[in-house]
Amino acid sequence: MDALATRKMQFLYALRSKGVTDTRVLTAMEQIDRGHFVTGLFADRAYEDMPLPIGCGQTISQPSVVGLMSQALDIQPRDTVLEVGTGSGYQAAILSKLARRVYTVDRHRQLVREARTIFTDMDLTNITAITGDGSHGLPDQAPFDRIIVTAASEDPPGPLLAQLKIGGIMVVPVGQSDAVQSLIKVTRLEVGFDYHELRAVRFVPLLEGLAKE
Ligand code: SAH
């Protein structure tokens, strides 16, 4: 086995040992090569279980956190998913293997542009990447079966809660941006919401408005 194949095998082993056990999620993470989303200085660390810097001062999440969030969403094949925080596009690419359609929004035009190019190169045709302030959601495409927020806010944004279908699930890191946050799974009930705390995480903050490039 060559060195790259060994690293990829260790990558999947690390995911399993950190609690990513859903076979659909593991298969998706086997299919989507993280190496496409990490370029430049850190390219040779793409298969390590750690967050890494991408452009615009942002980070690509730790693979085990991507796996655990994807697993918590319990995505069904016919689902429409909204992701807030496209970043490198890695999480969206995983989601695209699990769902029927994925909308992903980022406030950095440049990140959206780069992610779109990767999606096209990888032939991931069911992802729509949009530049915008994702904390308002996407009213034109709502409601969503699943919503994933990959930037931390002090509370789950109200417009996102409103754009979740009944029975739908949202996973969102909640807490101060400079501290450890809690990853929360929110399920929309017939009346109200159920909140379940999953684990401690650390994400960049959810910021208002479009980024000045
Ligand atoms: N999911 C990404 C990692 C996201 S990093 C990946 O797989 O690589 C968090 C991202 O959230 C950053 O790219 C940041 O620009 C974006 N972000 C922060 N606030 C936002 C907002 N209000 N709307 C949309 N994107 C936002």
**By alpha-carbon position, which residue is closest to atom 10 of ligand 1?**
85
Number of domains in the chain: 1
Residue 6 included in any domain: no
User: Tens digit of pLDDT for each residue in 38-53?
Assistant: 988 899 999 999 999 9
Q: Which of 61, 64, 88, 153 is catalytic?
A: 61
Is the pTM of the predicted complex or chain greater than 0.85?
yes
Write out the residue range of the structural domain in which residue 69 sits.
64-201
Q: Distance of alpha carbon 112 from its chain centroid, rounded?
A: 14
Residue 174 included in any domain: yes
70 lines ligand 1 (CB under 6 A): no
90 lines ligand 1 (CB under 6 A): yes
Residue-wise DSSP of 146-182: EEEE-SBBSS--HHHHHTEEEEEEEEEEES-TTS-EE
User: Tens digit of pLDDT for each residue in 137-180?
Assistant: 999 999 999 999 999 999 999 999 999 999 999 999 999 877 88
User: Tens digit of pLDDT for each residue in 57-102?
Assistant: 999 999 999 999 999 999 999 999 999 999 999 999 999 999 999 9
Residue 84 included in any domain: yes
87 lines ligand 1 (CB under 6 A): yes
Residue 123 included in any domain: yes
Work out which ligand 1 atom sits closest to the CA atom of 211: 15
